[in-house]
Homo-oligomer: A and B are copies of this chain.
Amino acid sequence: MKVYNFSAGPSMLPDEVKLSAQKNFINYEGSGISVTEMSHRSKWYDAIHMEALSSFRELMNVPENYEVLFVQGGASQQFDAVPLNLLQKGRADYIVTGNFSGKAEKSARKYGDIQIAASSKDKNFTYIPEGVTFRDDIDYVHICQNNTIFGTRYTDRTFPVTDATVVADLSSCILSKVVDVNKYGLIYAGAQKNIGPAGLTIVIIRKNLIGKENPLCPTMLSYKTQADANSLYNTPPCFSIYMAMLMFRYLKGLGGVKVIQQINEYKAGLLYDFIDNSSLFTNPVNTLDRSIMNVPFVTGDDELNAKFVKEAEKAGLVSIKGHKLVGGMRASIYNAMPIEGVKALIEFMKKFELENKKCLTFLP
């Protein structure tokens, strides 16, 4: 049975990427050794590291005045690294649009005068605040560009209008659509959703923001440490970087981010269209703010939701249970989810809706 993995992260990887990694697992390109046991100072790993960095720059069209860093600890570690490295005036504004932007704001409070400029908590994070104003003399504005749990995302309509540096968590949307890096001072993203296995976090930072860290910033959280060492200050998560490199090759082969964006918009469109025309399933998110990566949906009945999750898994549609903060189901349809996977999900939803029509009479 073909299995489609709708996990919110770690997430599905393309068959091509997995097969290539498996084939080379014991003997990487004639070296006689595995990438999992390769010195990070060896010529073999060096080629992997350099290709990963340059392919990522190419895919994201990263300007020359930005550094790309490979770090560890996940986005959660960046929640502290960002204020530790960027606070100079000691003030920053956060927009809270979900669980992770809330955690980022809470972590930053330790280091300075942090204010929530706007929040969508009033409607359980089902929208992105528009026309937010910020304080003067702040070091940066922080947003979470795509909210994995709640299925919302920033668009041009909601993107912060400010002279301050914009810092954004792109963990669940990096490489899914074209982004103009120049609009940001700093972008960070955990790799485990759109890029590769967990353990790698990517930071894109404008060079003039590097080297001004808090004197108490831990060495490994300093962007200067990593920039000066080309992300080889200590042993990097080599195998995760290798898998990321394979993913970048795959995306370049497809035609780059422009092409995957079209595919992603098509996939999301299919699923939202079906949900909007369904008499059983609904998506709670403000239409204009809907994520093309994470699609939460509910039946309105907890027992029916549980039945859906159970039967979906039997049908090869795995890890589709929603996050406890939203309930119901969530389909994460990152870059690696093929169109066939989304179609299989829709077919299953259709069938489930028909079979469970009798339940509908109990619904409001």
Contacts and interface: CB of A to CB of B under 8 A. Distances in A.
Given A11-B37, A218-B84, A219-B107, A316 B42 contact: no
B234 A74 contact: yes
Central interface residue in A84, A218, A238, A319, by most chain B CB within 10 Å:
A218
A7 B237 contact: no
A39 B10 contact: yes
A25 B21 CA distance: 8
Q: How many copies, total?
A: 2
Interface in A3-53: 3, 5, 7-13, 18-19, 21-22, 25-26, 31-34, 36-40, 42
A288 interface: no
A219 B39 CA distance: 30
A196 interface: yes
A220 interface: yes
A77 B84 contact: no
Given A26-B18, A240-B199, A318 B219 contact: no
Contacts of A240: 199, 237, 239
A220 B76 contact: yes
A13 B1 contact: no
Given A74-B234, A219-B79, A197 B42 contact: no
Interface residues of A, number: 67
Nearest to A191: B235
A42 B332 CA distance: 15
Interface of A: 1-3, 5, 7-13, 18-19, 21-22, 25-26, 31-34, 36-40, 42, 72-77, 79-81, 84, 103, 107, 110-111, 190, 192, 196-200, 215-216, 218-221, 233-240, 243, 316, 318-319, 336
7 smallest A-B Cβ distances: which pairs? A3-B32, A80-B218, A199-B237, A7-B39, A36-B197, A199-B199, A22-B25
Given A18-B25, A75-B234, 19 more contacts: A3-B32, A5-B37, A7-B37, A10-B36, A10-B238, A11-B39, A32-B316, A36-B196, A40-B198, A74-B235, A76-B220, A76-B234, A80-B221, A107-B219, A198-B236, A198-B237, A199-B200, A216-B216, A218-B221
